[in-house]
Amino acid sequence: MHIHGLQKLAMVDYPGKLAATVFTGGCDLRCPFCHNALLVTRLAETPEIPVQEVLDFLASRKGLLDGVVLTGGEPLLQPDAAEFLQAVRELGFAVKLDTNGCRPDLLKDLCRKGFLDYVAMDIKAGREHYPQVSGTPGLNMTLIDESIRFLITGSIPFEFRTTAVKGLHSKEDFHQIGPWIEGCPHYFIQNFTDNGEVLFPETFQAFHKEELEEFAEIVRPFVG
């Protein structure tokens, strides 16, 4: 388990819960607007935190924190993610997973084992535009399809979310996203921000509020 970051108190990462956020290193996508470049292409700049150190910290916060968020990078690249989450569960914490949906087999396995309470999955773009926006030519879209279907038809609480980036996204993306995620209970559009750690800085811009509202209106009939 390659852990490269620990936020000891997060008030918004896990809906309705006070949580600690654990950041894993490495990702199988190369989204050019990624705001966690240190966890994707610059791991040498972020020292690893021993797993036991993280578990010891969590044990010290029993009764003070409600949950743990496992994020990245892409956490499902970690071969021992299940073992880590089992240990977190044994400490009594609820678990939220942030994922890009490229590993539906592991997503299903963690859900089947009862290690997840909530999943947040990124929807990078409209289906036809996905490989380009994710910076991953040749991306196997059937994997994304499988993760979407599994969450929509399953019993684990979840949300979908899209980071809207001027220069990458257009209204057509959201016309495609709506029918694709039809039936999901929660979908969020978050505006792009350059936090200084973007994979390709000074390339993209944020949308205006009115443009985001237009995107939301396109998807709204398919959500809820």
State the angle between helix axes of 209-219 and 171-180 in degrees (0 to 180), rounded to the nearest 10.
30
Q: How far is CA 169 from the centre of its chain?
A: 18
Mean pLDDT confidence for 110-137: 96
pLDDT digits (tens, 9 = 90+) for 156-171: 999 999 999 999 999 9
Q: Which residues pair with 210 in a beta bridge?
A: none
Q: What's the Rg (C-alpha) of the chain?
A: 17
Mean pLDDT confidence for 20-39: 91
pLDDT digits (tens, 9 = 90+) for 48-76: 999 999 999 999 999 999 999 999 999 99
What pLDDT does residue 202 have? 72
Predicted confidence (pLDDT) at residue 46 exceeds the cutoff of 90 = no
| The amino acid at 35 | H
What pLDDT does residue 200 have? 78
